[in-house]
Amino acid sequence: MSLLKVEGMTHYFGGLRAVYNYNLEIEMGQIRGLIGPNGAGKTTIFNLITGMYRPTSGRIVFDGQDIVGLPPHRIAARGIGRTFQNMMLWRHMTVLEHVKLAHYSRIDYGLVGAFLGTPRRHRQEAEIEERSYELLRMMGVDRFAQKVITELPYGAQRRVEIARALATQPKLLLLDEPTAGMNPEEMIEMVDTIRRIHGVLGMAIFLIEHRMRVVMDLCETIQTLNFGEVIAEGTPDEIRNNPVVIEAYLGKEVVT
């Protein structure tokens, strides 16, 4: 049984058809890619899977359960972690607080613990803190732990954001353009990092990318989206040589 199965998902924004008859199956531990020109509906698909939007029709089954209609935090707690194209970090919070807070669904000391500072709360906060430091170390940003997020350089903020997503302990991690705005060196580092966390934690990864090198390097199979519809699906090689894809999206980039 696959980890995530999306069947016939369609979504309209008013009269605008953003996603049409979208199907996806991701197995445990796979890395899959989603490419397509701007406005093709890639991020909308992420928002539909994570429950930010409710699909107009279609089924989304995650880990054996239909998750359509669940609030986003429930879906996240079931094991779908995500990052955002524009990061959406919490600008007044420290790096450590970001990662700690993403453990929210695992906190069970309750309001009594929060109000009164029970021993159980202190124990649990200490555990969460330790795990958070581990994740920050894994992403190579632990030295920033006590800094407010806005004081960090851009690349480090991206890494914190991934650490935050990992803290939700995802079985499936959705990465929305993880290398956006990075220079080629940072991009290569990011690809290595993604490969490393995949190696260590073994979760499935579904990523949106604009940069061909990243998807071609990382993904087992790639879907190409145009005007909300999948126009091609296959291995990186197949996609690279598919004339429909080249016409819709790759165009010059492949020629050069």
Partner 1 sequence: MTTATPERSPVPDVSGRLTVTRALSLLGGVPFLGWLLGGLAAVLAEYLFGLPLALALGLRRIPVLFGFEVMLKAPRYIPGTLVYLVLVYLIPAALVALATARVTDTLAARLLRSPALSMVVHLALLYASIHLWCGLSDYRYLVGRLALIAVMLTLSLNVVNGYMGEFSCSHPGFMALGAYTASVLTVLFFVEDDVFGAPLLPPALGPFFFPLALVAGGLVAALGALAVAIPSFRARGDYLGVITLAFTFVVKSLFENLEIVGGPRGFMNQPNWAGLPTVFAWTVVCIAVINNFVRSTLGKALNAVRDGEIAAEAMTVDTRRTKIVAFLFAAFWAGVAGGLFAHVVSYINPATFGVQKLAEVLAMVYFGGLNSVIGSIAGGLGLTLFSEALRPLEVWKWVIIPVLLVFVMANRPTGLIAFREFDVMKLLGPRRGRKEGSQNVSAQG
Shortest reach from residue 122's CB to partner 1, in Å: 10
Residue 39 token pair: 């406005």
Dihedrals phi, psi of 90, to nearest 5 degrees: -95, 105
Measured from the Cβ of residue 44, the count of other Cβ atoms closer than 10 Å reads: 20
Given the rule CB under 8 A, which of 135-143, 164-172, 183-191, 229-237 is the region that contacts partner 1? 164-172
Work out which of 1, 16, 111, 255 binds partner 1, going by CB under 8 A. Answer: 111
* Alpha carbon distance 110, 21 (integer Å): 42
Closest to 221 in 3D by CA, of 236, 206, 211: 236
The answer to the question of residue 201 lying near partner 1 (CB under 8 A) is: no
Q: Give the count of residues interacting with partner 1 (CB under 8 A).
A: 40
Quick check: 18 and 44 in contact, CB under 8 A?
yes
The answer to the question of residue 16 lying near partner 1 (CB under 8 A) is: no
Work out which of 8, 39, 69, 117 binds partner 1, going by CB under 8 A. Answer: 117
Given the rule CB under 8 A, which of 1-9, 112-120, 177-185, 235-243 is the region that contacts partner 1? 112-120
Work out which of 29, 72, 140, 236 binds partner 1, going by CB under 8 A. Answer: 72
Residue closer to partner 1 (CB basis): 163 or 191? 163
Strands 65-66 and 57-62 turn out to be antiparallel
Residue closer to partner 1 (CB basis): 93 or 152? 93
* Alpha carbon distance 33, 185 (integer Å): 21
Given the rule CB under 8 A, which of 6-14, 30-38, 80-88, 248-256 is the region that contacts partner 1? 80-88
**Which strands sit side by side in the sheet containing 204-208, from one edge to the other?**
80-82, 172-176, 204-208, 31-35, 221-226, 229-234
The answer to the question of residue 152 lying near partner 1 (CB under 8 A) is: no
* Alpha carbon distance 153, 233 (integer Å): 36
The answer to the question of residue 50 lying near partner 1 (CB under 8 A) is: yes
Shortest reach from residue 109's CB to partner 1, in Å: 8
Dmax (CA) for the chain in angstroms is: 65
Lookup result for tokens 């940072």? 186
The answer to the question of residue 241 lying near partner 1 (CB under 8 A) is: no
Encoded one letter per residue, x for contact with partner 1 by CB under 8 A and - for no contact, window 121-140 reads: x---x--x------------
For CA atoms 164, 165, 166, 170, give the dihedral sign.
positive
The answer to the question of residue 43 lying near partner 1 (CB under 8 A) is: no
The answer to the question of residue 93 lying near partner 1 (CB under 8 A) is: yes
Tell me how far the alpha carbon of residue 121 is from its chain's centroid: 30
Rg (CA), the chain: 19
Residues that bind partner 1 (CB under 8 A): 50, 52, 71-73, 76-77, 81-82, 84, 88-93, 97, 100-105, 107, 109, 111, 113-117, 121, 125, 128, 148, 150, 164-165, 167-168
